[in-house]
Amino acid sequence: MRTVFLDRDGVINRKAAEGDYVKNWSEFEFLPGAVSGLRMLSEAGWKLMVVTNQRGIALGRMSADDLADIHTRMCLELGIAGAPIEAVYVCPHDRGKCYCRKPDVGLFLEAWRDWPGLDFRHSVVIGDSLSDMQAATRLKCGRVWIGDNPPPDTDFATHSIEEAAQMMLFYYS
């Protein structure tokens, strides 16, 4: 099973200002190319899963219900657009309080338990932070960086999921 693990903020949607969080649906905005890129990957047979650190819950900036509402609406819109998200895995904890917060791999292992046939060697992590790339390296997944200044051990660096999808469909086909 070919799987794309996606970070959320800064990859699928516009990131909040430094120190702030996307706390409700009215603050959520898909990034240019995100929906079309995810649709391209889905149409090519990739399973799409979101793996996201959401420390805003631990800090009391949003509730688990607020986050669930964002993810429900995000998944609904992407599903309607032909880019269904198979699952969303969330770490709501503060730094150093759990095993699931990226760069740890607990959320990925949860997905592995939930999805028989998931093989990290045939999976790719798309992210915009060093912790995303470190988790991918630990799991031996492909590593796709969204944004500027990629770390040296990424496989591809792009500025949108749409660009990433085009490269992945060429490289991983």
Residues 6+ apart with CB under 8 A from 134: 102, 103
Structure tokens at 23: 């706390």
Instruction: Name the pairing type of β-strands 85-91 and 47-53.
Output: parallel
Residues paired with residue 158 on neighbouring β-strands, in sequence order: 146
Side chain identity, residue 79: G
Tell me which residue of 135, 137, 68 sits closest to 100, measured CA to CA: 135
Contact 31, 11 (CB under 8 A): yes
Coil/strand/helix, residue 47: strand
Q: Active-site positions?
A: 7, 9
Tell me which residue of 129, 124, 127, 159 sits closest to 140, measured CA to CA: 124
